[in-house]
Structures are given as structure tokens and as C-alpha cells.
Amino acid sequence: MPPTVAVAHYPEGAGHATRMLAVAEAIESAGGSVRMAGGGAGREFVALNGYDEFEPTTVDYIDTYQDGSLWRAATRSLPASLGRIADYQAWLSATEPDALVTDDMFAAMAATRCDVPLYVLKHDMPGLYDDAVERAGARFHTLFQLSAAREFFYPVVWPGSEADPERATRIPPVALDGDPPVRDEADVVVVPSHYSSLSRIADHLRRQGYDVLDVADEDWDPVASLLPYIRGADVVVCSGYSTIMDAAVAGTPCVVHPATDEQEAVADWLERFDVTGFAVAPDQIDVLDAVADPPPEPRFDNGAEVIAQRVLTDLRDPDPYATPSADESWTTAAGTVPPASRLRSLATVSTLAAAFAITTTSLLSPSRWRRKLSGIASRSASAGRAAADRASCLGRTAAAAAATGAISTAADGCRRVLDRCRRVTADARVPRLSR
């Protein structure tokens, strides 16, 4: 009987789901059986790949804090976290998998309560972060999962360094592969993250004559795997690490325009180690320049196969966890898990409270605010200069018209000045605080 492996993904952002789908498909290709779970932003991609996944309570610390307040995060996200752990416990107890592979800390907590062998996938290590608070948060999550996991997989594109945690297994980047390149490939594929927008960059690239595929366009329908489109392009523009891994496996030059703190940390490391195949573009004009002169092609294997072989090799050895239970009273179909009391998860409250405190404190980090305020100031100054230039130009036109007696023309010019200033000011929007 083939080993049954539970594969669970974190719910914030679709990249977590596609990364874990790559692991699920590699496990099935190697002869294992898979049960998927996670829900959230990645559920659509899980369904597109033919899996009927279990959806525990969704947690989103970013949205509850950004769109609300610290109080909203405490009153909504913290209880939701407890519910997510309890749901995972019930699901793991019902399905009785031989192991769990996950990038979701809540699933990892549940596995420790259910005595299910745990394998963790994680890339945002403490060494990525310069800020002390953010580094402390990453250290907490990393140390907890290192202590609980049988093996801790660290998928990376940069070389090893002293910042790598001990006992972490470095593997190649993990990406959800697909069919060969599409026939009508685009010159540039633009892939925003769940918390960023690259539409204006895509528009600029189109005006410069590039054939652009922007997966955020309204006429773009999600596909089971984006990697074939990336493989067929000349260059990919992205924000998040999941697409960085896709580009690495696809062998497509990648321009990284980070939006969140985690993305900026990853971009810093790409620059620090001068990783072949990647160019970091902090500003929009930098993106256009990098697309015009892209970096060399990256060359990486897919780490999903490494994870599958390691996990299945472990499970095929004599192991008490691999013995089927004689109790068949549990319903094991996805989505039909018996109700579980939240009291079963109270043992995780202290760990969860620490994770919440570090996460929300990280959101208030001084360096985070300095970066955001600096960006706001820079964008506002640029908008102000543009408004002044336009006002000066139109003002000169209006003055010249008035000097020749064209009073009505001058009045029209003044109105255009005011209208354009209002539009430019409206463009200088303050971005949401993002993780």
C-alpha cells in the first residue's frame, strides 16, 4: 500500500499553494498518495490541478491589520489561528496520513499534537532580515518548525552562507511544472503577488512595443501551472518568491520588483550574492531598463523531486506511523472532517500567542515605517515635481495667450492647470502597509 502524505499550504497568497502543489505532484509521481489542505487564496489553483482539498479556517494577518487595526488582528486573526489549528487536528486525526509536508506553521502545530511525522518547507530565514524585530519573528517561526520537523527543507537560489540555520536541508527552488512552452508565448510575463500590482509596468512595456502577458488582466483566466508561460517568455517581471522559483526552474531571466518587506529581503539577497538570472529593480524605470537588457538565463533543478524522494524513502522504512489504524469510524473524504472542539488546541495557545505578538510587533517595526514613509515621500515629491512642471508649462501658455489679448484662452489654460494638478495629486496615493 503506497504511503499517504498530507500536503498543506499556507492561505495567504496563491504562491504557497502552487509551491505545495509541486510537492504533491512529485510525491504522486514517485508512487505516493496525497491529500491536500490549505484553502485561502490558493484554493482555485488547487482545484485547477484536480485536487479536492480540505479548507480549514482561513487566517490572514496582513489583511486584518492593513484594512483594520491591531485590535482587529487580535480579535479576528488570533481566534482564527486557533480555529485553523483545531481544524487541522481534526483533519489529520480523520485522514491518518503517514506524514505531513507543509509551509503552514498552523498545520505544523497541529501535526505535533497528532503525532504525525512532520516535514517543513520554508525559505524566509532570519538571516534575510536586517531589522531586529522582523529577524526575531522569523527566528521564532524557524526555530519552532526546526524543532518539530523530521526534516526542514530550505529551497533557495542563492549560495550557502553562515546565515543558513543549522539542520536545515538546502534544496533547489520548488516550482509547479507543467506542459512544454505555450505556442503563442509572450515577450514578457508579468506576475504580481497577492499584495502587489504591476499593471502600470505592464502598460509601459506594451507602449514600448513588447508583447506582454499580465496575469492580473481581467481577460486572463487562471491556469493549472504558470511555468509553461514563463518558460516560453524572454523575461518575467514579478514581486514574489514563488515566481522567482518558477523563473529559476523555467530558465527564464527574471526582473524582481519587490513590494512587501519579505520580498525586499529576498531581493536584497539576490543582489548580495549576484545570483545569475535575476535583476532587482526597485523603481518602475529600473524595471523597464532591466527588461531591455535582461540578465542571463538561470539554471536550476526542481527541488520538489528532492522532497518527494526524501519523504517517501523515510516512510517506506519500518515506521510505527505507517501502520493503518483498525478504527475506520472516521470519515476521510476531504471536507467531511468531524467537528473538533477548540479546547483540543489549547496546548498551542502559548506558542500561538508568542507568534501573534512577534507578527504584530513586526508590523509596527520602526524600520518598516521608515521604508514606507521614505517611499511615500519619494512618490509624493515626484508627483509634486510633475505637477509643478505641468503647471509651469500651462501657466506660460496661458500668460502668453493673455498678453496677446486672448483672455478666454488664458482662462482655459488656468482651468487645465487646476484639473491636471488635481489628477496628479490623486495619483500620489499612499500605499497600504504590507508585510
- What digits encode the pLDDT tens for the residues 403-432? 445 445 545 655 665 565 555 445 544 443
SS3 state at 7: strand
First to last CA, the chain: 43
Confirm if 30 and 312 have CB atoms less than 8 A apart.
yes
**Among the listed residues 217, 216, 211, 249, the one whose alpha carbon sits nearest the alpha carbon of residue 230:** 249
**Among the listed residues 120, 98, 125, the one whose alpha carbon sits nearest the alpha carbon of residue 107:** 120
Report residue 65 as a C-alpha cell: 491589520
Buried b (16+ CB within 10 A) or exposed e, 185-216: bbbbbbbbbbbbebeebbebbeeeebebbbbe
Concatenated DSSP letters for 147-197? HH-SEEEEE-SSPP-TTSPTTEEEE-------SSPPSS--SEEEE--TT--
Q: What are phi and psi of 209, to 5 degrees?
A: 100, 5
Angle subtended by helix axes 366-403 and 261-272, to nearest 10: 90
**Among the listed residues 232, 210, 230, the one whose alpha carbon sits nearest the alpha carbon of residue 287:** 210
Residues of the chain with pLDDT under 70: 60-77, 133-134, 183, 318-435
- What digits encode the pLDDT tens for the residues 18-53? 999 999 999 999 999 999 999 998 999 999 999 999
Task: Quote the pLDDT of residue 86.
Answer: 93
| Count of other CB atoms within 10 angstroms of residue 422 | 11
Task: Quote the pLDDT of residue 260.
Answer: 79
